[in-house]
A and B are shown apart, each in its own frame.
Chain A
Amino acid sequence: MEKILSRPKALKDNPLSYCPGCGHGIIHRLIAESIDELGIREKTIAVAPVGCAVFAYDYFNFDTTEAPHGRPPAVATGIKRTNPDKIVFTYQGDGDLAAIGTAETIHCANRGENITVIFVNNANYGMTGGQMAPTTLIGQVTETTPFGRDPLREGYPIKVSELLANLQGTKYIERVTVFNAPHIIKAKKAIKKAFQNQVEGKGYSFIEVISHCPVDWGKTPLESVKWVEDVFLKTFPLGVIKDETK
C-alpha cells in the first residue's frame, strides 16, 4: 500500500497541548507542510510568542526562539537582518500581535522586513483563560467583558490586516480561516505563498488566520465552527487584502 500522507518532517512527533477543537494544530501543520514543500526546514528560524503557541518549540522541528510578549517582530528583525539567508517567521496571537506588540508589529511591517508573520486571530486571550482581545467582536462575552464588548467602554475590534495594508512596507496580506476543509486548503495556499515570497526576497508577508477557540468561547467545537462562519467572519471578511508580489 502506498503511504500518501504522513506527519510533516517540520513537525516533531510530540502531542500538542492545545485544547480539544482548537485551530492551532491545523495551522501548525499547514506551516510545517509549506516549509517541507519549499525545502527550507534546515534554514528556518521561528519566533514563538507568549500565548497559547508559547510551546511552539516543542512542536516545530526546526530552530525556534522565545520572545517576550509582543516582541516577536523585533526579535525576528534582529535574526533576519543578521542572517538574510535564513527563513524567519513569527507565530503570534491577537493579544501578542495586536495589543502589547502593536508598535513592534507596525514598525516591522513598515520597515518592510523580509519575514513572514502568521497571525492567529481567535478573538480572545486563550492561554490566560479567555479575556478580551483587541480583536474581540462587539457584543462578545469574554472573561473581562462579562456584559459583552461594548465599544463605548472597550472600543472596537482592530482589523490588523487592513491597518497594515496601508503601509508601503507590506507586500502580501491575506485573511484566511481553518474551520473546514475548503478553507484549510485556501489557508495552506496563502501560508505557503507567504513563505515563498520570503524565499524570493519579495518582502513582508502577513497571514491572518481566523481560528476557533471552543474552550474559551464556551462552545462545543461544532458550535464554534458555526460561530466563525456566521458571526466572526462578518467582522473579519476573508480574502487577499493586499498583494504587491506579482
Chain B
Amino acid sequence: MSKHLIKGNIALCEGAITAGLSAYFGYPITPQNEVPAYMSNKMVKMGRVFIQAESELSAANMVMGAYATGKRAMTSSSSPGISLKQEAISYLAGMEVPGVIVNVQRGGPGLGNISGSQSDYFQATKGGGHGDYHTIVFAPNSAQEMYEMAYDSFDIAEKYRTPVMILSDGIIGQMMEPVEFNRQEKKEFEKKSWALDGCAGREPRSLQSLLMKDGALEQHNIDLQKKYEEIKKNEVKYDIYEAEDAEIIIVAYGISSRIAKNALKLARQQGIKAGMIRPKTLWPFPYEIINKHAGQGVKFLTVELSMGQMVEDVKLAVNGKSPVEFIGRAGGGVITVQAVLNKITELKK
C-alpha cells in the first residue's frame, strides 16, 4: 500500500472522512487550523457538511445536533477552545449521544501559547465538564495513529453512545510523516435505535439529560457507571516496548512517547535495561498492565509535556509497589531525548 507524506492534522481528517464523516464543525485556533481548512475543501467537494461555526461552543453543539440524528460528526480545536466545548461534552455524556472531539493541545493555562503541549490530560480524562461522567480518550503518537484513531473513534463512540476525545498535541498535529491509508471506506451504517430520524411508524423519541422524576437521575448515573465499567473492561489500549526485563519503565503518551523511546534506546546501548508502556487510551487508563510490571525493584518514570498530570494515574496503577519519578516541561517547552536519558541514568544509580 502506498504511503502519503502528510501532517498529523491532515491524517486525522482523512481517517474521519474514510470512516464516513457526515459533518465537520470547526473554528479557527492554532495549532489545529489545518483541520478546518482541509475539511472546508474536501467535505464540500464530497457533498458533505462543513460549517465554520461562530464559536467553539456552537461547533460542539452542532456535533450534538448531527449525532442526535445518528450522523457521524466531529469537531476539533486546541486547548482554550476545548474548554468551551466541555459544556456540550457533558451534555453528550448525559444524553448518551456519541460525538468525536479532537484536541490538538497547546500550552496553557489561559490563552497560553501556540506550541504543542500535553497540559490537558486532567481535563480530558477526569471529566472536563460537570457531572459524573467519563470521555473515552485516545492518544495518538504519530500521523499514522491520527488517521487510525480518528477512523476508529466513531465506531467506539456509537458502540457506547458516548463522546470520544482524540487527545493529540501541536507537534503530532503539525509533524509530516508517511501515512498508510489502511482503513476501508465506511459506507454502510446500521440504523440506530436511539437516533432522531422522524417518528414515522414508531413512537417519538427524545434525547435528554434532564431527569427530574424522583430517583431517575440517580438511576441514570448508576447506568452510566455500568457502561463505564464495560468500557474499562473492553477498551484499554496500550503499547509495550522492551518492558519484560526492564528495571526502569517509562510511561509516556503522544509526542512524549516518541522522545522517550529514543532515550530508552540510548539507555539500552549503555546497558541500562529500560522499557516503556505507552497508553493509547488515557481513559480507560492501562492501570492493570502497569501494575503487573511494578515491584521487583522496577522503577517507573513518567514523561509528559506538562508539570505532571498522568503521573498521578501511574502512581495509582503502581500502588506503592515501585517508586514513580516524573520528568516534564510545560508551556510549550519540549523535553529533550538527552534530558530523559539523564533522568534514566540518574534512576539507575
Chain A residues within CB distance 8 Å of chain B:
12, 41-45, 47-48, 54-55, 57, 60-68, 71, 74-83, 86, 103-104, 106-107, 111
Contact = CB atoms under 8 A, between A and B. Distances in A.
B81 to A, nearest CB: 14
A68 B54 contact: no
A104 B68 contact: no
B23 A86 contact: no
Contacts of A71: 57-58, 61, 64, 87-88
Contacts of A62: 198-199, 204
18 contacts: A42-B201, A45-B69, A55-B210, A63-B197, A63-B204, A65-B95, A66-B207, A68-B61, A74-B53, A74-B61, A74-B65, A75-B64, A78-B67, A78-B73, A82-B73, A103-B54, A103-B58, A104-B57
Closest 5 CB pairs between A and B? A78-B65, A57-B206, A74-B61, A78-B62, A107-B54
Contacts of B205: 63-64
Size bracket of the B interface: 35 or more
Contacts of B197: 63, 83, 86
Contact of B196 (A55, A63, A104): A63
Contacts of B62: 74-75, 77-78, 81
Contact of A66 (B49, B51, B91): B91
A66 B97 CA distance: 11
A78 B197 CA distance: 13
A65 B68 contact: yes
Contact of A104 (B25, B58, B206, B210): B58
Contacts of B59: 74
A182 B208 CA distance: 36
A55 B211 CA distance: 10
A104 B84 CA distance: 14
Interface of B: 22-23, 25, 49, 51, 53-55, 57-59, 61-69, 71, 73, 87-88, 91, 95, 196-201, 204-210
Contacts of A55: 210
B334 to A, nearest CB: 36
Contacts of A44: 198
A117 to B, nearest CB: 14
Contacts of A60: 204
Contacts of B198: 42-45, 62-63, 86
B74 to A, nearest CB: 11
B208 A66 contact: yes
Contact of A74 (B23, B57, B201, B210): B57
Nearest to A12: B204
Contact of A81 (B23, B57, B58, B206): B23
A70 B190 CA distance: 32
B66 A63 contact: no
Contacts of B201: 42
A65 B197 CA distance: 11
A78 B64 contact: yes
B204 A107 contact: no
A64 B205 CA distance: 7
A41 B58 contact: no
Given A63-B196, A68-B88, A74-B58, A82 B204 contact: no
B52 to A, nearest CB: 10
A68 B64 CA distance: 10
In this complex, which of B49, B62, B87, B197 has the most chain A Cβ atoms within 10 angstroms of its Cβ? B62
Given A63-B199, A66-B207, A79 B65 contact: yes
B49 A82 contact: yes
A78 B65 CA distance: 4
In this complex, which of B63, B91, B206 has the most chain A Cβ atoms within 10 angstroms of its Cβ? B206
Contacts of B67: 78
Contacts of A66: 91, 95, 206-210
Contacts of B208: 48, 57, 65-66
